[in-house]
A and B are shown apart, each in its own frame.
Chain A
Amino acid sequence: MSNYISKIFGTSPVAPLQKHMTVCCAATAELTRFFEHAAAGDWAAVDESRGQIVNWEQKADDLKHEIRGNIPKNLLMPVPRADLLDLLLVQDLMANKAREISGLVVGRRIEIPQPIQESFIAYVTRNADAAEKALECVNELDELYETGFRGAEVSVVEKLVHVLGTIEDETDDMQSNIRNGLFDIEKDLPPVDVMFLYRVIELIGEIGDLAERIGHRLELLLSH
């Protein structure tokens, strides 16, 4: 007893991709809380927050493997398979980055110096905002599939990607401000800690970069 017409359709990658992105965003969003606790020196809360990020990252990893398994070769899709897998990869990198940052901070008990705390938290939040905007873009995917990647819906996504680009520019400016702030006080801090702090700032900035790359991947999908 079987029906072959319904077997023709492969699993749509749209909803799983969106779910994966939601999970990745949960990991980057947690980073704000993570650094708030770190700034306050509440290491118990920091460890708990770190546990959350690790959980989200693992969940994203599981979803990634599941999605890869459901996009076999012989599929006829409106967008190239390689581009979808690329998008998935960049999304996943974002969660990985959140895990790497939290691991570094927890492992070395890196403290955020008082003078730059405020701008530091704002910087983390803005990068998480970029990730959130990228999620918004990915959530337009189902509408894009509905229209066959054409027409008015395309300009909606293009607008979102543009906003995403503006947020990323902001994070770049914030990054150089924080670096300057840190440079001014670095003589009074333990040199090794300062080196790692620069590294953490850099890594946080990469989240914004990855978010922007997600936007560009989506634009790539539109250009086919």
Chain B
Amino acid sequence: MENEVLFLALATVFGLFAAWGIGANDVANAMSTSIGSRALTIKQALLIAGVFEFAGAVLAGGEVTATIRKGIVDSTYFVGQPEILIIGMLASLLATGSWLLIASRKGWPVSTTHSIVGAIIGFTVVAVGFESVKWGKVAVIAASWVASPVFSGIVAFLIFNSIAWLILTREDPLERARRYAPIYIFITVFLISLVTMLKGLKHIQIGQQLESAECYAIATACGVVVAVIGKFFIMRIKVDEKADKEFHFHTVERVFAVLMVVTACSMAFAHGSNDVANAIGPVAAVISIVGTRSVTQAAPIPIWVLALGGIGIVIGLGTYGRKVIAMVGSRITPLTPSRGFAAGVAASFTIVFASGTGMPVSTTHALVGAVLGVGMARGFSAIDLRVVGRIFLSWIVTIPAGAILSIIFFLILRAALT
């Protein structure tokens, strides 16, 4: 194969570009519940996003990366012409990166996931034909796009109702908040680390040696450690007599603000585990084809590729995403920590679970579903259903947009490189 080094270099650059786009545009959505509820300052949010996006990408991003890399295209159609598949993957990255850039500038709600899937389908259809797309798998992915916000909404509904029932509606909500908050922290950390270890870690070395009993033990340990740290901070919160009325709800919300820190970490982790794959899947495909000189063999994903995605997201966050986050922070939202916690945790469960099963889902959609779930539980004073509708409809535009851009880039790159 000619142009090997060129292909690898282009894959790295385009992959970074797409990851940058995700960091610039998408992370703000993932972090918005924490910043909107004033639980975190913008600096703290950026730090948490940087660390946990990276961790999520490296520790739990493997399964979705595999789906993007080889789940959508039937590679047997490319056996005689591996460079066409490489060019197609490069075009998809470019399409996703540019679409994110355009959409961010215009302020459109877009989903990275939908645009990369649209892009890969687009170039495949042009390069080979309709038969080379694994439509069965695409249908499953599309179904997960419907299922993830619904699932997330149901979980958020249940979590918020449990908070209301255990804490908010009682005579002594503050004591109850202090008692139950560490338990919520434990459950959050336990479930996310468990799913990560059982499903995500098998793509990196250490994960392959873990027995499932060990996974449960480690997840429990993680949960207990974080819950104890959380308990320490919760006990330090003093009652603010001035701001409080009979039930001390002001102070109760400050207890939930501690939980929001955990939520912010898990949201960033979840987002990293699912969305980094959008940028990294095609890169992994290119590297695998160049390395094995075969389109059908599946080489394991090198960790540095996942790390590349993590770095790209952090750069995007630092250069452009911080402005979006600052804007979110400056807007007053009725998102109090108790609501933000219910919505954020439900969304991150959903996304980490989807990551574990290899489903590329949209973080924004999961979060919107969760917000609606809390709304159904009478948690928000007002949710604008027109905006919700616009967000859910936007993917109808995003899929063909990703496909068309990818086809254009594919034709240009093919003419230039072959």
User: Which residues of A pack against B, CB within 8 Å?
Assistant: 1-14, 71-72, 74-78, 143, 145-153, 156
Q: What residue in chain B is nearest A79 (Cβ atoms)?
A: B378
- 0 or 1 for each of B295-339: is its CB under 8 Å from A? (1 = yes): 000000000000000000000000000011001100101111010
Instruction: State whether the Cβ of B135 lies closer than 8 Å to any Cβ in chain A.
Output: no
Q: How far is the CB of B229 from chain A (nearest CB, A)?
A: 27
**Residues 194-235 of B contacting A (Cβ, < 8 Å):** none
Residue of A whose beta carbon sits closest to that of B331: A6
The 0/1 profile, CB within 8 Å of A marked 1, for residues 348-374 of chain B is 000000000000000010011001100
Give min CB distance, B365 to chain A, whole Å. 10
**Is B272 an interface residue, CB under 8 A from the partner?**
no
Hey, which chain B residues are within 8 Å of A6, CB to CB? Answer: 32, 36, 328, 331, 333, 335
A78:B381 contact, CB within 8 angstroms: yes
Number of interface residues of B (CB under 8 A): 52
Interface SS, A side: loop
A11 — which chain B residues lie within 8 A by C-beta? 382
In contact, B382 and A13 (Cβ under 8 angstroms):
yes
A74–B387 CA distance with the chains assembled, in angstroms:
9
Residues in chain B near residue A148, CB distance under 8 A:
160, 164, 168-169, 377-379
Q: How far is the CA of A148 from the CA of B334 in the complex (A)?
A: 13
Query: Out of A2, A9, A147, which one reaches B335, CB within 8 Å?
Result: A9
Q: Contact between A1 and B380 (Cβ–Cβ < 8 Å)? A: no
In the complex the two chains form, is A5's CB within 8 Å of B32's CB?
A: yes
Nearest CB of B to A78, in Å: 3
- List, in ascending order, chain A residues with CB within 8 A of B385's CB: 74-76
Residues of A within 8 A of B108 (CB): 2
Neighbouring A residues of B109 by C-beta, 8 Å: 2, 4
Contact B378 A8 (CB under 8 A): no
B356 to chain A, nearest CB (A): 24
CA A150 to CA B377, docked complex, whole Å: 11
Cα A10 to Cα B381 in complex, Å, equals 8
Q: CB of B391 within 8 A of chain A?
A: yes
* A149, B164: Cα distance in complex, Å: 10
Q: Which residue of A lies closest to B390 (CB)?
A: A4
A3-B168 contact in complex given A78-B381, A143-B245, A143-B249, C-beta closer than 8 Å? no
**Given contact pairs A1-B323, A4-B391, A12 touches B32 in the complex (Cβ within 8 A):** no
Minimum Cβ distance to chain A for residue B361 (Å):
16
> Which residues of A are found within 8 Å of B367, using beta-carbon distances?
5
Quick check: is B398 within 8 A (CB to CB) of the other chain?
A: no
How distant is the Cα of A77 from the Cα of B385 in the complex, in angstroms? 10
